[in-house]
Structure 1
Amino acid sequence: MITFRLLLICLVSSLFPALAANSFNILLYHHVADNTPASTTISPKDFEAHLAFLKENGYQVINLDEALNNVISDQPLPDKAVAITFDDGFLSIYQNAFPLLKQYGYPFTVFVATDPIDHKFPQMMTWDMLREMKQAGAIIANHTTDHAYLVRTDDYSEQWLRMTLENIHHAQKRLTTELGDVPNWIAYPYGEYNDALRKKMAEEGWIGFGQQSGGVAKFSDFTALPRFPAASSYANLATLKTKLASVPLPVDYLGLPDTVTRTSKNSLTVNLNGKLKRQNELRCYFNSNAYSPKVQSSSFTIDIQQTFKQGRDRVNCTLPHESQPIYYWFSFQWLYWPLSVKAETTQ
């Protein structure tokens, strides 16, 4: 019995790196310009440096649809596979990024909110520009109708869910009317969602994308796939190259808590699809502060000592790979949204 148990533990442990082997990373951009908000901007010069880095270091930039299909169907991905995405549909993507992407022959995806395009906001692309991109091979997908905060509310009622779905469905109808077939993909504005929305997206057959960092493998949560932000301070190639080389930590996503929390003090327990090796080297970071998790054989817990501020916060965790000079990577985004005084007094 003891021998069998040891053998089983060894087999599960040996599967740990194999689970993450057929995986890829997604880069996330917004503005590509020199005169737009710094927090979501990369300059055209730095964006071209990213593309050159990918080419010079053997990365295979592939169509996001192909990458997802390969992972889901257990078909092998190219070595060092990466996909490029943009959120919001800003004009600078068409003016500054699109020519460079065509020059490099790299496919890409743009998630667009449809109202700003319908209203012809000057900083946004037009439908004709999006059609041109789609004809050139780009994928255009859903970023809601109005780019509103979807889950910053006191009451996740049936009415809230219905109105949120109507928002997403209306955007999808506008996309198909203007562009023809588009995938059932949704990039949540600001990367914010909750369990109720995520589960409804799964029921309807959608693939969702967040803004937490990490890679994509078959064990990933396909209603909230991670992407590596690559603008602002995250545009630095010295750190981005480490992220690009990482593989996703094999996490049991079904065991994670809701991303929305009403309390200002939180802990996070992460269950894994296998046994940790080098567990003493697992490190997690919250607001630039390092935490050493409480580790068990196939799970770990982080007790966040800091008080959450209202809004988004992320925990990022890294673990050195068993046999390669790269890292496993995992990120979890919280939205701390306390109940309003009015809501608290009525419950």
Structure 2
Amino acid sequence: MLSKFHYGILFGAMSVSMAVQAQDYLPVLQYHHVSVSSPKSTSVTPEQFTEHMDYLKNAGFQVVDLRSALDDLQAHKALPEKAVAISFDDAYRSIYQAGFPILKERNFPFTVFINTEPVERKSRSFLTWEQMKEMEASGGVFANHTIRHPYMLRKEEGESDDAWLSRMTKEVDTVEALLIKNLGHSPKMLAYPYGESNRTIRTMMEERGVMAFGQQSGVVSADSDFENLPRFPASGAYAKLSTLKTKLDAKPMPLLAEQAGGDFATDKPVSIRLTFKDGKYRLKDLVCYVAGQGKASLDWVSENEVIATASKPFGVGRGRINCTMPDNSAKHYYWYSNVWIRSAPDQGYVSEKS
């Protein structure tokens, strides 16, 4: 018979074991098409998608409902060990035709961010509300990707700032209403088309209680900006299983603060200032890569603070810096990414101060 002392030891050991098994971060995979005939840059073939899903199952990953997991992280509740979430953008019918059977067979929950204009006009290339209801019965969740998939920070010709914001508000609110009308509920999540947002748009999300995703890579944690969350692309050039394995093993960069100078890049090279939390990290092994340029220069301004700078300005479009650092076990990488927009005058982007 165990004494109170031995019960205490046993309970303590169980608590430690549970703590080890708990996870306080979440990688989220982003897909678009599941098809051999759609653009390769945003597609996985059914064979590739099967390979990905089989790996998740065989390697012991726990595929979780995205919104529930985000709520738990925000509340500092532990997720299952090896938790991961699956998401799709754009409501393509190939998700239903080729992706859904694979997910259903494995009993994996998933989220699809839908742009409703092609759904409402009954485009044959996009999901129907009836298909969505069928998918909901087997773990599917449908969320907001705006009506027409616009560049949310671009104004139309002659449009005022107030008119632009009103149009973007309609893009968001209309889809929320359609989700409730056709499916009876909304998870209050949104994926920004092209990953683009600014402070004004993110404030709109916060006021509506909507959690939103950009297109910077990384894992979600309680420290994340829940109006600009990261995901890992898993299509096109990122569909290789070896690449996917590295991302699934990623951890959030242990940052106390970050300063990126805003959402827009200029005609000067971008830089980002990262301040690390106290702890024993392999800071000497931190590497930051600039899209299309190679390694960023690193200037350590203190023991736990670094400035990463690109070697030259970004061209017009979206550019990013990705930073990785091995953890002490060398089995995982801490991961961080930031995206900037370099706009051209004729694109009509809103003021960089918005």
Alignment TM-score, normalising by the size of structure 2:
0.86
Per-residue CA deviations over 1:47-88 (Å, capped at 9, x if unaligned) read 000001111111111111221122112221111110000000
* Contact kept? 1:201, 1:207, Cα under 8 Å: yes
Who is 2:295 aligned against? 290
Residues matched between the structures, number: 326
* Contact kept? 1:127, 1:178, Cα under 8 Å: yes
Where does the alignment leave 5 or more consecutive residues of structure 2 unmatched?
1-19
Q: Following superposition of structure 1 onto structure 2, how do residues 82-93 of structure 1 map, counting pairs within 5 Å? A: 82-93=84-95
Who is 1:339 aligned against? 345
2:311 pairs with one of 305, 308, 333: 305
Tell me which of the two structures has the higher relative contact order, counting C-alpha pairs closer than 8 angstroms and 6 or more residues apart: 1
Looking at structure 2, the residues matched to 109 and 343 of structure 1 have their Cα atoms a distance apart, in angstroms, of: 30
Looking at structure 1, the residues matched to 148 and 199 of structure 2 have their Cα atoms a distance apart, in angstroms, of: 21
Q: Following superposition of structure 1 onto structure 2, how do residues 111-130 of structure 1 map, counting pairs within 5 Å? A: 111-130=113-132
2:328 pairs with one of 310, 322, 347: 322
Who is 1:7 aligned against? none
* Contact kept? 2:258, 2:273, Cα under 8 Å: no
* Contact kept? 2:23, 2:81, Cα under 8 Å: no
Looking at structure 2, the residues matched to 260 and 135 of structure 1 have their Cα atoms a distance apart, in angstroms, of: 42
RMSD over aligned Cα atoms: 2.3
Query: Secondary structure at 1:260's aligned position in 2?
Result: coil
Q: Residue type matched to 1:250 in 2?
A: P
Per-residue CA deviations over 1:126-154 (Å, capped at 9, x if unaligned) read 11111111222211000001001111349
Looking at structure 1, the residues matched to 148 and 239 of structure 2 have their Cα atoms a distance apart, in angstroms, of: 27
* Contact kept? 2:290, 2:321, Cα under 8 Å: yes
Looking at structure 2, the residues matched to 343 and 114 of structure 1 have their Cα atoms a distance apart, in angstroms, of: 24
Who is 2:76 aligned against? 74
Looking at structure 2, the residues matched to 254 and 268 of structure 1 have their Cα atoms a distance apart, in angstroms, of: 7
Residues 127 and 285 of structure 1: CA distance in aligned 2, closer, same or farther (over 3 Å):
same
Alignment TM-score, normalising by the size of structure 1:
0.88
1:179 aligns with 2:183: yes
* Contact kept? 1:220, 1:253, Cα under 8 Å: no
Query: Secondary structure at 2:190's aligned position in 1?
Result: strand
| Structure 1 runs of 4+ with >6 Å offset | 341-344
Looking at structure 1, the residues matched to 261 and 179 of structure 2 have their Cα atoms a distance apart, in angstroms, of: 33
2:285 pairs with one of 281, 292, 304: 281
Deviates more, 1:69-78 or 1:22-31: 69-78
TM-superposed deviation, 1:253: 6.1
Looking at structure 1, the residues matched to 321 and 278 of structure 2 have their Cα atoms a distance apart, in angstroms, of: 21
Q: Residue type matched to 1:191 in 2?
A: G
Who is 1:13 aligned against? none
1:249 aligns with 2:257: no
Per-residue CA deviations over 1:158-201 (Å, capped at 9, x if unaligned) read 33222211111111111111111111111000111112211221
Q: Residue type matched to 2:130 in 1?
A: D
Q: Following superposition of structure 1 onto structure 2, how do residues 158-197 of structure 1 map, counting pairs within 5 Å? A: 158-197=162-201
Looking at structure 2, the residues matched to 65 and 46 of structure 1 have their Cα atoms a distance apart, in angstroms, of: 26
Who is 2:205 aligned against? 201
Where does the alignment leave 5 or more consecutive residues of structure 1 unmatched?
1-17
Q: Following superposition of structure 1 onto structure 2, how do residues 223-262 of structure 1 map, counting pairs within 5 Å? A: 223-252=227-256, 255-262=259-266
1:218 pairs with one of 215, 219, 222: 222
Looking at structure 1, the residues matched to 349 and 120 of structure 2 have their Cα atoms a distance apart, in angstroms, of: 35
Q: Residue type matched to 2:71 in 1?
A: N
Which of the pair has more CA radius of gyration?
2
Looking at structure 2, the residues matched to 210 and 279 of structure 1 have their Cα atoms a distance apart, in angstroms, of: 27
Q: Following superposition of structure 1 onto structure 2, how do residues 124-143 of structure 1 map, counting pairs within 5 Å? A: 124-143=126-145
Who is 1:106 aligned against? 108
1:145 pairs with one of 144, 147, 153: 147
Residues 337 and 275 of structure 1: CA distance in aligned 2, closer, same or farther (over 3 Å):
farther
